[in-house]
Chains A and B, each alone.
Chain A
Amino acid sequence: MVNESPGTATRLDPESAEWLEALAGTGRVQEAALARLHALLVRIARGEVRRRGPRLRITGPELDDLACQAAADALLAITGKIRQFRGESRFTTWAYRFVILEVSVKIGQHFWRYPTVPLDAEDWGRLPDRFGFDPARQAEWRDLLAALHRAVDTQLSPRQRQVFVAIVLNHVPLDTLVIELGSSRGAIYKMMFDARRKLRAALAANGYMGQDTAESS
């Protein structure tokens, strides 16, 4: 993985400057700015849970509660980190990022509290459906998936295997796994990144798949 460092600070646009000035103010000016920012974050959070809602199987008051919690926590994070805002985007875009990330965290927590599948379940019969293999053409892919199963068992570390099974077979959301394993999104992603590379190499070595190509998209 490579590093693409952020740019340097730039001049603030007038609207962002106004936000910063009001939030750094005192008394009623600051209170009004905080209330306005909170209302904005609630609106963005509600929009985001509505956008994700159909895939979440969470509805009604529970979904709205999740949005309100995300907005409240995002407001705390924003006020705590406001000095880190460097004007590389509009202030509101920077602030929206916090609430979108909080929505992801809250959804991860929800599925951790109410799992739809036991995290350690292991049903390899789900694998063909997971990738959309046509059952009518089983003869074409049976050997490939058997080889993949073998590679998961023999090439991955126990932790990589656990993460693969949870995410790929059990559809456990990555942000839920982060909580379950006491890890971070980046660490789990990196574990899967390395696992994917190992599995492709194993399948390529056995002639099931081509080698990875760096520039493909």
Chain B
Amino acid sequence: MNDGWRALDDFLRTDPRDVGCAEAVEMLHIYAELVAAGEPAEQRYPGIAAHLRACGPCGEDFEGLLAAIRGGAG
């Protein structure tokens, strides 16, 4: 499978565990703190993990929040 096929295949793949934007955003601080602490966040919240993989904007927010936590503000 070349890159285009793989990218299209990934794009069209949907995961029924996906919780959607509202719940992912609601839980984002909890999930990001678990990830920052090295805890198995994906195992604990598979539906949020599935959503963050598939949703560009929520994934971007998650990366931003993680960067903020790791930036050591406080």
User: With an 8 A cutoff between CB atoms, is B38 at the interface?
Assistant: no
Encoded as 1 (CB less than 8 Å from any B CB) or 0, chain A from 1 to 13 comes to: 1111011000000
Could you say which of A20-28, A58-66, A91-99, A112-120 contacts chain B?
A91-99
In the complex, which range does the number of interface residues on chain B fall in?
A: 35 or more
Residue on A nearest B14 in the bound complex, by CB:
A197
Are the CB atoms of A200 and B13 closer together than 8 Å? yes
Main secondary structure on chain A at its contact with chain B?
A: helix
In the complex, which range does the number of interface residues on chain A fall in?
A: 35 or more
Residue on B nearest A173 in the bound complex, by CB:
B57
Are the CB atoms of A141 and B65 closer together than 8 Å? no
Interchain CA distance A15-B9 in the complex, whole Å: 46
User: With an 8 A cutoff between CB atoms, is A83 at the interface?
Assistant: no
| Chain A nearest Cβ from B8, distance in angstroms | 5
Main secondary structure on chain B at its contact with chain A?
A: helix
Which of B12, B17, B57 has a CB less than 8 Å from the CB of A175? B57
Are the CB atoms of B73 and A140 closer together than 8 Å? no
Contacts A96-B69, A133-B4, A214-B16: A7 and B57 contacting too (C-beta < 8 A)?
Answer: no
Contacts A104-B60, A185-B57, A212-B14: A6 and B26 contacting too (C-beta < 8 A)?
Answer: yes
Are the CB atoms of A134 and B4 closer together than 8 Å? yes
Kindly list chain A residues whose C-beta atoms are within 8 Å of the C-beta of B18.
1-2, 193
Chain A residues close to B by CB (< 8 Å): 1-4, 6-7, 15, 40, 43-44, 47-48, 51-52, 88-90, 92-94, 96-97, 99-101, 103-104, 128, 131-134, 137, 140-141, 144, 148, 168, 173-175, 184-186, 189-190, 193, 196-197, 199-200, 203, 209-210, 212-217
